[in-house]
Amino acid sequence: MRMLALYSIKGGVGKTASAVNLAAQAARAGYRVLLWDLDPQAATSFYLRTKPKVRGGVEKLVKGKASFDKVIRATQMENIDLLPAALASREMDRLLAKRGNSHLRQILKPVRDDYDLVILDCPPSLSHLSENIFSSVDALLVPVVPTTLSLRTLEQLRDFLDDRDQDCTFWPFITLADRRRKLHCEVIDTMQAQWPLMLSTVIPSASVVERMGLERAPVHAFAPRSVAARNYQALWHELDQRLG
């Protein structure tokens, strides 16, 4: 079971849209996917038409006493299950402060043979939860809007991991890009030169991605020929090759 996290210190960078669309592409490729919504805003749960509720409570889940046949929900999409978030998910950080490293992976141990891939949709913060994410996943996928401030948060993440000697692979990729903007083009060129592990596929700023909130589905489900759908498919192919 491989674990990936869609993570950024900065909000509003297309993290949740990327988590849902990459899960959909992995499922289309035949992977058994579990999406774990860790953000109390529960946007992933909303997109996948699932009630924002952790049955039995977040504390029971963290303590390893949850019944996964009740906590994990099937979705309308083949090969994708969801571990939803709820407002109570904000307690996850406090509860994980009392646990060791890689505890998120440990929580999922009872279902590790049920899934090929776990994708975490993470809240934008640096916290006990995020540090546990860093120690649990095989790689962080870091969406970056091609602006100076967004690039700065990527550098802050790198410095945070270096300062704590945290061995965590992270792969940045560009989201919400508008190549008509000179600044966006300049930042993309800069990133490709300075970040050798950056994924090459660029996700555009597109109204079809914003429509996910109305359709409550990944882009491929309602606009399979759109540039965004094709680029998410290309991004998944890149990831699949790196995961081996």
Instruction: Annotate 94-163 with DSSP letters as a single string.
Output: HHHTTS-TTHHHHHTGGGTTT-SEEEEE--S--SHHHHHHHHH-SEEEEEE-SSHHHHHHHHHHHHHHHH
pTM over 0.85: yes
- Which ranges of the chain have pLDDT less than 70? none
**Residue 213: its pLDDT value, please?**
94
Query: What's the CATH number where 103 sits?
Result: 3.40.50.300
User: 36-66: per-residue pLDDT in tens?
Assistant: 999 999 999 999 999 888 888 888 899 888 8
Please report how many Cα atoms fall inside a 13 Å half-sphere around the Cα of residue 231, on the Cβ side. Answer: 20
Cα gap 112→106, rounded to integer Å: 9
User: 107-140: per-residue pLDDT in tens?
Assistant: 999 999 999 999 999 999 888 899 999 999 999 9
Cα gap 95→229, rounded to integer Å: 37
**Residue 67: its pLDDT value, please?**
86
User: Cβ distance 164 to 158 under 8 Å?
Assistant: no
**Residue 18: its pLDDT value, please?**
98
Pairing of strands 117-121, 80-83: unpaired
- The sign of the CA dihedral 173, 210, 78, 68 is positive
Query: What residue numbers bound the domain in which 224 lies?
Result: 2-243
**Residue 117: its pLDDT value, please?**
98
> What backbone torsions phi and psi does residue 171 show, to the nearest 5 degrees?
-120, 105
**Residue 64: its pLDDT value, please?**
85
Q: Which two tokens stand for residue 22?
A: 């990459």
What domain count does the chain have? Answer: 1
| CA-based nearest residue to 24, from 224, 202, 213, 171 | 224
